[in-house]
Structure 1
Amino acid sequence: MRSAKRIVYILIILLISSVSYAQDDVLDEIVDVSYEGISMEALLDSMYLKYAFNFSYDPSALPVDSVLNVNYSQHSLYSILQEVFKNYDLSFKSVGRQVIISHQKREVALSNYITLRGRVVSADNGQSIPLVNIAVMGESLGTSTNMDGEFVFLIPQHLAGAALHMSSIGYSSYNMAVPQRDTTMLVLLRSQSVQLKEIKVRFIRPREVIKRMVENRARNYFTSPMLLTAFFRESIRQDGKYIEVSEAVLDIYKSSYLKTSDREEARLVKGRKKVEDEDVFLARLKLAGGPALFSTIDVAKHLNFISEEEDDNYFYIHKGKGIVRDRVVYRVGFKPIVELDDIYYEGELCVDVETFALISADFSMTRKTLRKSDQYLIRKNAKRIKSVPVFTRYQVDYRPYGEKWILNSVRGELIIKMQDKRNKTRSEYQASADLLITNAQQGKDQRIRYSEAYKINYVLADQIVGYDPMFWKDYNVIHPEEELIKIFKSTPVEINLVPQPKKTKP
């Protein structure tokens, strides 16, 4: 039985102090730099270590291995960057102590895109439908609606007229041609329950469904490396109010789906955050390792709580049929047979009837695991704070890409109740993270180097600084809900959204 320990959960660390800097433009700061035979990447790293400049750039777009001789005394950071990158069409922008290096061409990139925006609602009652999958058929591009049913989708001009597909569990799919110009629309999805009753599916034992799913992975998923582009958002709410939101664009290197034990590698391309300090009277939460750990949540690849063996410790249950992405699926429930001193989950898998591809997974910690989850979830806590996790939920889904399926999105949620032992103050913290794959390409010879990789002990909120209102203008992202938009217009306990069991003696 393969261990389920790699599935998402949250670690908590209390952080009390943080370093602050003056808010002057860091590009105007005077610095001294002198090196012989240093790579461009090492030069930027050295300035980070010496002056705490946080550089954001796409390593694949810069000659980071180029060797330089630099000798600047009492020069501004901006003048040094201009000289070092004088042969490249780049722009430099600062937000706090973050320096964003990007191609000038990106500034006008939107002219090459069609902007499709709108809202998806139920045709039955007019309520918004969250997490609707939106994709251009046959292409790697995709996005999804937010919790208010809203979306913004940037589509390259050359795909005008291509088939656009919208789908959500329990609803009939919606298909249309990509319009020729920017368009705002209201999409109505109808309930699919009547059609579902008419579908006849041959019964197969749940364990046989799981066995065939594992056996058909080479047919259903990529067996060559892929480089994925992803949008990642993690947020923390205290008693219903957002107190911190961080967002990032990531590159994720994923090896063959047949290499079950291979770990994904993630690289931060750019990011932003917003912190609301008002009324944070109990503790400051931060999510640790989010992008690095969250990018590894791929049930079809790592086969968490899935085994072909009859002696597996998980029991599989037939829960009927369903329709996901216009595909008829077996709904297979699962739960542990015996719970020992380990992490266990229960939930539901949706497996395609024809191809036996895993299309979605929805699961949470079992009640027994949740009761003892503080030993897994809380890495470090303040002595005066009692923290009790009370809820977890994780959702993973896949979308078609040619004749295969690729990871589409991952969502994780955690609720923790905290109490200050001294004054009996109570508060409820809700942490969530969303990973959306927005593009994919062949990943041969594109492995992410260790020096570039996002580490599991990193805190995203500490890796990025400040807010730029035009930050995502040419990226596909999950459109923020109204509350998040207000936060971006207007430190603590640290949370990590992938479970890392504490080491125990054998």
Structure 2
Amino acid sequence: MDENCRRIQKKTLTAALTLICLIAFGTKTSLAFQNQETETKFKQYKGEVIDASSKKPLVFATLSLEGTNISTITNTEGNFILKIPSELTDGTVVVSFLGYKSKNILLSQLKPNKNKISLVISVTELSEVDINAPKDAAALVKETLARKGDNYFDDPTLMTAFYRETIKKRRRNVSLSEAVVNIYKTPYSSVRKDAVELYKARKSTDYSKLDTIALKLQGGPFNTLYVDIMKYPDYIFADGSIADYKFTFSRSTRINDQLIYVINFKQWESIKEPLYTGELFIDVEKRTLTSAIYTLNITDKHRAARLFVRKKPAKVDVWPTEVAYRVDYREKGGKWYYGYSNVLLEFKVDWEDKLFNSVYSMTAEMAVTDWERNLQGNAPKSRERLKKSIILSDEAVGFSDPDFWGEYNIIEPEKSIESAIKKIQRQLRRAKAKGGAAAP
């Protein structure tokens, strides 16, 4: 490994996660694939969501069918695919993005392809902006990071979270995993790492669609947990590396009646390593990071591949084409905490002896469903903790626990993670009543 790659690995979130393991399989074993599409016919709508002014794509914009739990998000190019059951012919699709005015579109107005949806920035009048806010965007970011001990949870916390992991070949689901995990989160001011315990997990994989290649997402829930910038700032803004970025004020807006500064950041042109570009949403009054959306700047596909690909067959080239992250924080009692994160990756797999390459995408998202203070500092024993090298699909036991999953016996990847959480809340409450650790 060359010195440049070592320097990259010390700085980037991707290296900290070691996300991808690529393994050749000599068998064509096919497992039963639980996919909602096998039971319900869908209509499909494709398009892109862009900024109305700049025409730039909006990454992780949300499209949801009003009154249902059907939703999707855009990728790093602003593209989306929204699947609607064929029997639903009427309805309103709500398109939303942080800091932008939402747009309502009648389902009947959407075309099967080439829908272009533009959103307008929700701008706050300058008279409302706190005149005491730093005029230097980099200074505001540094101050926000420095105040994590004041503004974020300062007690050990036990969280329950729902995790979903999806692997697609082009647009077809080939592997789905879901889990309920316990997160033993240490105070934001502490340098101790969080611990994760697996409570329930299941998977559904169709290896026949993988062309004898299985992509395995290494890290499992840690992939999404380490996107918590306020807890793990070094994975994106390592010591000294904050100077590798140019920070600029983008706009001011109001989200949930809070005045938010949107800070753009990107690496300086003189920096050749693949770092990040994105937006930080900072509460002006409290100096808190409320959300962040950012992507890996893939300046060199070979360097980027070394960050992700842990193992691969000799005659196959694999490299990332898209890498995006999102984290959202929630507020309770004047303190903020990690609430939701999403990781999206797209890879090309190029066989030496094949004319066409394959495109795979991986999405991992996790949402906190409940939490309580862990004042006793309880933590799982070493053998009960998930390792950072976990491959969730290897740990999951499929659908062998119907008592827990109950009627929710099909993984529904096209529905929102909030929908999945609602469906298992009853089981989580029941587990709590029985003394289970999964529902604090």
TM-score by length of 1: 0.58
Which of 405, 409, 412 matches 2:340?
A: 409
5+ residue gaps, structure 1: 24-127, 133-143, 151-166, 174-190, 486-506
Partners of 2:194 and 2:63 lie apart in 1 by: 24
Which of 318, 321, 325 matches 1:394?
A: 325
Would you say 1:14 and 2:7 are equivalent positions? Answer: no
C-alpha spacing 1:409/1:368, structure 2 compared with 1 (3 Å): same
Partners of 1:280 and 1:383 lie apart in 2 by: 17
Structure 1 counterpart SS, 2:164:
strand
Would you say 1:268 and 2:193 are equivalent positions? Answer: no
Letter in 1 for 2:414: E
Partners of 2:402 and 2:62 lie apart in 1 by: 24
Q: 2:124 aligns to what? A: 196
Shift of 1:443: 2.1
Letter in 1 for 2:229: V
Which of 225, 240, 243 matches 1:295?
A: 225
Shift of 1:429: 0.3
Letter in 2 for 1:13: L
Deviations 1:270-298 (A, max 9, x none): 01111123433252212122123432221
Structure 1 window deviating more from structure 2 (205-214 vs 329-338): it is: 329-338
User: What does 1:239-388 align with in structure 2 at a 5 Å threshold?
Assistant: 239-259=170-190, 261-281=191-211, 283-304=213-234, 305-306=236-237, 312-337=243-268, 344-368=275-299, 370-388=301-319
C-alpha spacing 1:428/1:172, structure 2 compared with 1 (3 Å): closer
Partners of 1:277 and 1:21 lie apart in 2 by: 5
Letter in 2 for 1:443: N
Deviations 1:173-199 (A, max 9, x none): 9xxxxxxxxxxxxxxxxx885663576
- Root mean square deviation of aligned Cα: 4.0
Structure 2 counterpart SS, 1:367:
coil
C-alpha spacing 1:373/1:172, structure 2 compared with 1 (3 Å): closer
C-alpha spacing 1:233/1:353, structure 2 compared with 1 (3 Å): same
Shift of 1:342: 5.6
Which of 200, 223, 239 matches 2:154?
A: 223
- Rg larger for: 1
Deviations 1:438-475 (A, max 9, x none): 11111232122211111122211111122266744599
Q: 1:120 aligns to what? A: none
Shift of 1:333: 1.5
CA contact (8 A) 1:146 1:480 kept: no
CA contact (8 A) 1:411 1:432 kept: yes
Letter in 2 for 1:402: G
Would you say 1:147 and 2:72 are equivalent positions? Answer: yes
CA contact (8 A) 2:293 2:325 kept: yes
Letter in 1 for 2:98: I
Deviations 1:57-104 (A, max 9, x none): xxxxxxxxxxxxxxxxxxxxxxxxxxxxxxxxxxxxxxxxxxxxxxxx
Partners of 1:213 and 1:434 lie apart in 2 by: 25
Aligned length: 336
Shift of 1:309: 7.2
CA contact (8 A) 2:72 2:416 kept: no
CA contact (8 A) 1:130 1:145 kept: no
Q: 2:12 aligns to what? A: 5
C-alpha spacing 1:377/1:308, structure 2 compared with 1 (3 Å): closer
Q: 1:69 aligns to what? A: none
Q: 1:460 aligns to what? A: 392
Letter in 2 for 1:435: M
Would you say 1:421 and 2:421 are equivalent positions? Answer: no
CA contact (8 A) 2:179 2:199 kept: yes
Would you say 1:433 and 2:433 are equivalent positions? Answer: no
Partners of 1:457 and 1:300 lie apart in 2 by: 22
Letter in 2 for 1:5: T
Partners of 1:311 and 1:170 lie apart in 2 by: 24
Q: 2:98 aligns to what? A: 169
Structure 1 window deviating more from structure 2 (429-438 vs 314-323): it is: 314-323
Letter in 2 for 1:273: K
Shift of 1:200: 2.9
TM-score by length of 2: 0.66
Letter in 1 for 2:397: V
Partners of 1:357 and 1:409 lie apart in 2 by: 16
Q: 2:426 aligns to what? A: none
Letter in 2 for 1:357: T
